Structure formats: C-alpha cells, structure tokens
A and B are shown apart, each in its own frame.
Chain A
C-alpha cells in the first residue's frame, strides 16, 4: 500500500512548514487537504480572521483554534460608515473578549472594525491578557478615555495602539499620562480621532521621548504646529507621522524649527494630518518629500498650485489621498511626476453643493490612468463622467483591482451623450480582469449589471446606489459574479424575484445589504425559512414588519451567512427571519 504523504512527516515538521503560510485563505486551503492536516493546522494557527462577528460564535472559534494569538473581527456592515445602519444595531465585542479572557491568556493582538467597544471591554482586555501587544480599533465606538486609561496603565508590553476613525463623545487625552514612566515599548500610536479636550503635550512628549522604538505616530488636530518640532526631535526614527493642525502665525523661528526637525527624520515615508494648512509652512517638509511613499492630504484645503508644488517634490509617491482642490491640472501634473503611484483617493471639498466649486472632472482620472502604470486602486468623487472617458480609463489601466467612482449627483448621465454609463462601467469590468472591488454611480440601467455578471469574475465587493431597472439587474450580478463576497445596494428597484431565485448564492457570500429597495417582507420570511444557514435581518424603524402587509417592502435588509443562527443582541428595530414557523412566535415574544 502506498504510504500517504501526510504520514511521512512528523507533525512538528508540518507545523513548521505551515508557519510560513500566513494568509488566511491559504491556511483555510491547507486545513482542507486532509483530516490530519486540518488537525495540525488548527493547533498552529496564530492569526484568526472573522469577517462577520455574527457568522460564528467566539466559543466555536476558540474550540477550533485553541492557540491563536491574534484576532481580527468585523462588525457592522460597510454602509454603517454612511449612517445607513441605525445606532444600536449591534456589533458588540464584549462577548468575544469575555470568552477569550478565560481561554486565551496569551492573546496578543485584537483588531476590530466597526464594532461597539465599551470601556468594560477595554478594561477586560487590560486585565486578562498579560502579553497584550496590539490593539487596533478601526471605526469603532462606545468607549471613553476611561477604557483607554485602563489599557495604558496595565498593558506593559503594548506595542501598537491605533484608534483610526473612531468616534466617541469628546475623547480626550488625559489617559496618555496613564502610561507608566517605565513603559517604553510603544511602536505605533494613532490618536488622530481624539478630540481637543484635556490635551496634554508634556505627557505626549515624555511618552514619545522614552519610546525609542516608535515608528508610527499620528496626532490629532488639537496638536498645534509649534509643538510638532519638539515631538519630531524626540522621535527622529519615525517612519509614519501625522501632524496636527498645520497652521501658525508666520514666524521665521517656528519655520526654521520645524524645517530642522523634519530634516532630522531620515526614515519618514508617510505623512498625514495637515488640518488647517497654511501653504507658507509646507516647504518645511520638502527635505523628507523625496522619500515619501504615502501622503494623506485629504484634510488639506490647499489650492491646486500649492498641491502641484508639493507633489512635485514627491516623485516616489505610491499612495495619495487628496481633496478635489487638486483639480484636473493637478492630477495631470501628478500623472507626469509620480510614476509609482498605486493608490489615489480624491475626496470632494463641497459634497453637498449642487454646482461644482472646483475644476475637477473626468479628465483628471483619465490623466492619472494614463500616466501612472502601477495605479491599481482608485476612489474618485466628481460631478461629471462620460462613457468615453471610462472606456479610455479601462483601456489605459487594465490592472485596476479597486475602482470606486462616485458621481456626486445620483443618476447623472453621460454628460456628452446623455446616455446611461452602462458602457463605460462595462468597459471597466471587461478590461480590468482582476477587479476585486467596484463602486458604481451615475445613471445606470440593467445593462451595466449584465456586463458585470458577464465579465467581473474576480469581483469580491460591489456597491450599487440609485441604479438599475428591475430584478434582472440583481439577477445578473448574483448569478454571474462567481467571486462575490459582499454586495451592498441602496435605492435600487430590486425586488423579490432575483433574491429568491439566487438564494443559494447568498450562502457563498459573506453578506448582502439592501436598503430602500423593493424586497417585500414576505420574501424575507420565505428566504429565512428556506435558508437556515442565513440570517435574514429586517431592519425597520417604522415598526414591526408584520404590522404591515407581507407585500410591503422592508426598509433595510441585511443577509449574512452564519453557523450560529439568529443573534440575541438585536435592538427593537431588527427582526431575524426564522426558518421554522413555529419558532417565529417564540422569537417575537423574546423581542418584546
């Protein structure tokens, strides 16, 4: 008999081999090779990624991977970023912390996105994990400085504390002074979301001064420009730095101080911040510009000429975030200077105005797509677009992996031909064969979805708003996009048919969000009944959906695959459709 390969190596050897396999996808594949590999792999998996915290229970994760050191969890759906998910929907991390506290004393890293993190959770983290090193809270909420103080005071081995894009009521600074004087292990600190209460510069400076391994420091707007020089002098080894408010009275001593401090930072590769920027102080950063690979000017209200001047000093830029003040002319300059550009995000300076306030059109994007051969990720807000431009962009840049275009006014047609932009976006999906993420906008009919279903075979995430004619559009997407994992739709005339016809598809995806569409309550119930491995959540602030006729469309719908059935932490405006009719009575009673 043929000896199986798997048995010819001792477990330790396989474990060692597996340790070189970091990516989640690959680890999952490894675990499916055979039973013994599954067993070996699960004991040596150190990093766990849970894309939807309600897809699985903490206990199940711990049971399968008893030795992990790092966990990444995501909570609310992406559209929560735009206020479409009502407060209180869910995404609480506490149950996870509670389970891990007992079972995984050696846990080192917790990374959370769009979750509700209470002070209680933070205190429990501080108390439970003696070797805790990394806390990343991305777009989280629910905590205050008390929770942060607990982390600072207790986690002696903390290396990374990143609070990117979090919000809290007046997150102040006083917790910074809770880091003991003996604490020196900080490597990365992102406090750009903090408010301006209780700013304590001396605590910050002392912290920065004694943490000689500090590589990343992102300050918030409350830190004035004249404090920056001092901070930089304490940390010339910084690789990533975010300024505070970049404004001060024009004084030569402040300027020279600042310029001197920047020139001593030989390792700087990434800059951000620049709130309230005064152009006269920009040249202070020129000494570091030639090494910059990442520049976030998305808060910098600089006009185009200043932006071009700045960018012309940064030929090695790979990542640029900027406001649309850069205009077409600035993007043309960018295209000629920054040949290594990989990611570009252009945000609107006046998102709610009806008339354009800057001269930024589709031409800027065309220029960049033409001049930057490595460009693969784009987020672009503008007010006009044409099919012609989109086709040109697609042909220029078939290596796009992320293409997110937001034409500010919904259902805006091709401004040259007044036709829908179906053909333009169709070209994007046809030419960009590795496209993973796509956001649509403008006037679009079902035809664009036909293109997407036909060509976008690697597409994993699709965002749709104010588009399509009917169910056929949704059907194209659900039946054609083989790699689709996340689909989010708002204000589209998609109804029951496509959803019900493609019910099985939903189990192959992480989640589907539909709001202000035309899916009836009856269809939701049916889907819930037929698909036990899906949670079909109806979110409706008008009141219980069964107080309206079954044919009445639901306000918001969030469907996700899960191994653990309906969750129990739903607020009064969320109902999960049960799969067993007799259980429906019971669950409604629980909700009352």
Chain B
C-alpha cells in the first residue's frame, strides 16, 4: 500500500499534532491512488485532507484562497494553473493525493482564466431547491419564445428581456434541469442537473464520478472508465431516452439539441446497446 507518494503540508496543521492524522490519511489515500498514479500522469488529485493540516493554513498564498475549493477534486492537466503547481511542489511532495468529495469544474477554479462560460459543477451548490432551478430554466425559455435563429455557438446565452440582459442555459420548453440517471446493475438511480453542464465531456465526467466510483471494489481503476463513456471503449455506454421515447446513444447530436430532447439517461452495458447508433 506504500505507493511512494508523499503528502504535502507535513507537520503541523491548524490544530497541531496532526502528524498521526496525516499519516493515516496518507495510507487511506494511497490505497486509492496507487493504481492511478502510473496510469494517468495528467490526472492529479488534490489533497483534501492536508488542508486540515499544513497545506492551506500555514502556506497561505493568494492561490490558497481558492485552494480549499479546488482541493478534493479531480484535476486535469489543462486546468492546472502554474501557481498552484509550484505551491504544491514547494511543500516537498512530488504529488499529492486525495479524497475528492465534491468536484469543481475546471474552468471555474482559475479565476483569471477569462472564460466566463463555465458553470459550477459542485453537487448541491449553490443551495437552491431543484424546483427553483427548473422554474428559472423553463421561464427563460418561455420568454425567449421560439427564437431558433439565434446564434448557437454558446451554451450560455444572453438575451434581452425588457431591455435587461438575462443569461439562461439553453433548454427547451417544458424540460426540467434535473434528469434521472440509471446504470445497469445499480438499483438506485441518481439525478443530474443538465443546467450545470455545457458539454458532453463534463456531463460524462459527473456521471463517471457518480456511478463508476460507487463500484463495489475500490481496486477497480477509475481511470480505465474515465471519459470512456462517450467513445465506446469502456464496458458501458451512455444512452438517453428522448421526447419520443426512443433510446439513443449520447453524443451524436449537438449538445443543445441533446439537452432539449433528453428525458432521462441510462448507463447501459455496451453489449446491450446494439442498434443504438454508431460507435466512434
């Protein structure tokens, strides 16, 4: 279980004497990470637990203001701001590992990244009831009317209503932001908020986190299932039931069109998904 990974923020933490805490966390975390560390070099897991220890409380830099929010999520290479990288390596650990409780979207972390289109993907945040979210979405659509000829490049659309700029996630009339998701072999279904996603990738990522991490055996390599839901190379494929009741493969149509017609999702075994469409 010793994967040669060193936890950062050694020694002290906000509450002192946490060295034992750190080491137990270490072993906990190592057991999860060992299979991943070699496989996905670009996949780095933020150290959630060390925040109780040294990481954020002692080394407060500007980056650390948001670091708790970004720790405990799965980072990918593309969103790793260099300031955060240097903070981590400065603390003496080559990499750090972790418990990811909730995940943030890549873009929302780097505040100066200049991409305002991203939305938060933290489950249950901001704390708004689903019916409110759904109502906002439905109303935005109703007000827009059938303005199908609006430019379709951006998923976060701004439009004028009574002279006011209102942003709304594009979502057709009557569609609820939350849809049910079921996975073959798992009796309990989940719900996912389509409004908080702007692409198939981010949706697939959330679904993978929801379902594939709940696989019974922890030894299962999450990385082999990562992002494979969309390209047909894993054991499961992502399908959806559309407004007409047909089951389709997710990913074939533009995102916006998908969002407007999806009724519910199903993570289906690849073997059962024959005849649903082309595999890439």
A residues with a Cβ closer than 8 A to B are: 79, 81-84, 86-88, 165, 167, 193, 221, 247, 275-276, 279, 298-299, 301, 303, 306, 325, 347-355, 357, 381, 406, 408-411, 413, 418, 439, 443, 445-446, 463, 465-466, 469-473, 475, 490-491, 493-497, 515-518, 520, 541-544, 547-549, 551-553, 555, 571-573
CB-based contact A466/B69 at 8 Å: yes
> Looking across the interface, which residue of chain A has its beta carbon closest to that of B23?
A551
CB-based contact A542/B131 at 8 Å: no
Interface pick from B10-18, B35-43, B236-244: B10-18
CB-based contact B28/A551 at 8 Å: yes
With known contacts A88-B188, A470-B52, A493-B51, A82–B132 Cβ distance under 8 A: no
Pick the residue among A348, A349, A490 that contacts B166 (CB under 8 A).
Answer: A349
B21 within 8 A of A: yes
CB-based contact B101/A515 at 8 Å: yes
With a cutoff of 8 Å between Cβ atoms, the chain B residues found around residue A409 in the complex are: 108, 120
B190 within 8 A of A: yes
Pick the residue among A193, A472, A551 that contacts B15 (CB under 8 A).
Answer: A472
Question: Which chain B residues (180-222) contact chain A, with CB distance < 8 Å?
Answer: 187-191, 193, 195-196, 210, 213-218
With a cutoff of 8 Å between Cβ atoms, the chain A residues found around residue B120 in the complex are: 352, 354, 408-409
Interface pick from B82-90, B155-163, B251-259, B266-274: B155-163
Q: Chain B interface mostly helix, strand, loop or mixed? A: mixed
In the assembly, what is the distance between CA of A392 and CA of B213, in Å?
A: 46
CB-based contact A352/B195 at 8 Å: yes
In the assembly, what is the distance between CA of A466 and CA of B156, in Å?
A: 26
With known contacts A470-B53, A491-B101, A381–B126 Cβ distance under 8 A: yes
> Looking across the interface, which residue of chain B has its beta carbon closest to that of A354?
B116
In the assembly, what is the distance between CA of A303 and CA of B128, in Å?
A: 21
In the assembly, what is the distance between CA of A3 and CA of B187, in Å?
A: 65
CB-based contact B122/A410 at 8 Å: yes
CB distance from B57 to the nearest CB of A (A): 4
CB-based contact B28/A347 at 8 Å: no
B residues with a Cβ closer than 8 A to A are: 1, 13-15, 18, 21, 24-25, 27-29, 31-32, 48-49, 51-53, 56-57, 62, 65-66, 68-69, 72, 99, 101-102, 107-108, 116-120, 122-133, 135-136, 139-140, 142-143, 156, 158, 161-169, 178, 187-191, 193, 195-196, 210, 213-218
With a cutoff of 8 Å between Cβ atoms, the chain A residues found around residue B32 in the complex are: 548, 552
CB-based contact A541/B166 at 8 Å: no
With a cutoff of 8 Å between Cβ atoms, the chain A residues found around residue B193 in the complex are: 83
Q: Give the interface centre of B133, B167, B190 by most chain A CB atoms within 10 Å.
A: B167
With a cutoff of 8 Å between Cβ atoms, the chain A residues found around residue B25 in the complex are: 518, 551, 553
CB distance from B245 to the nearest CB of A (A): 14
In the assembly, what is the distance between CA of A555 and CA of B218, in Å?
A: 14
CB distance from A491 to the nearest CB of B (A): 5
Pick the residue among B69, B214, B216 that contacts A410 (CB under 8 A).
Answer: B69
CB-based contact A81/B129 at 8 Å: yes
With known contacts A466-B69, A491-B101, A82–B127 Cβ distance under 8 A: yes
In the assembly, what is the distance between CA of A493 and CA of B231, in Å?
A: 36
CB distance from A539 to the nearest CB of B (A): 11
CB distance from B159 to the nearest CB of A (A): 11
With a cutoff of 8 Å between Cβ atoms, the chain B residues found around residue A553 in the complex are: 25, 28, 49, 99
CB-based contact B131/A193 at 8 Å: yes
In the assembly, what is the distance between CA of A303 and CA of B164, in Å?
A: 7
With a cutoff of 8 Å between Cβ atoms, the chain A residues found around residue B123 in the complex are: 82-84
In the assembly, what is the distance between CA of A495 and CA of B167, in Å?
A: 39
CB distance from A486 to the nearest CB of B (A): 15
CB-based contact B52/A493 at 8 Å: yes
In the assembly, what is the distance between CA of A61 and CA of B156, in Å?
A: 52
In the assembly, what is the distance between CA of A551 and CA of B123, in Å?
A: 25
11 example contacts (A-B, Cβ-Cβ < 8 A) are as follows: A81-B129, A83-B124, A84-B123, A352-B120, A410-B122, A411-B68, A418-B62, A491-B72, A491-B101, A493-B49, A572-B187
With a cutoff of 8 Å between Cβ atoms, the chain A residues found around residue B108 in the complex are: 354, 409
Top 10 A-B pairs, shortest CB-CB distance: A516-B101, A82-B124, A551-B24, A470-B14, A469-B14, A352-B119, A552-B28, A493-B52, A541-B214, A470-B52
CB-based contact A543/B218 at 8 Å: yes
Pick the residue among A165, A221, A301, A542 that contacts B143 (CB under 8 A).
Answer: A301
With a cutoff of 8 Å between Cβ atoms, the chain B residues found around residue A306 in the complex are: 162
In the assembly, what is the distance between CA of A306 and CA of B156, in Å?
A: 25
CB distance from A205 to the nearest CB of B (A): 25
In the assembly, what is the distance between CA of A470 and CA of B143, in Å?
A: 47
With known contacts A167-B131, A276-B143, A470-B57, A496–B213 Cβ distance under 8 A: no
In the assembly, what is the distance between CA of A409 and CA of B108, in Å?
A: 9
In the assembly, what is the distance between CA of A490 and CA of B72, in Å?
A: 12
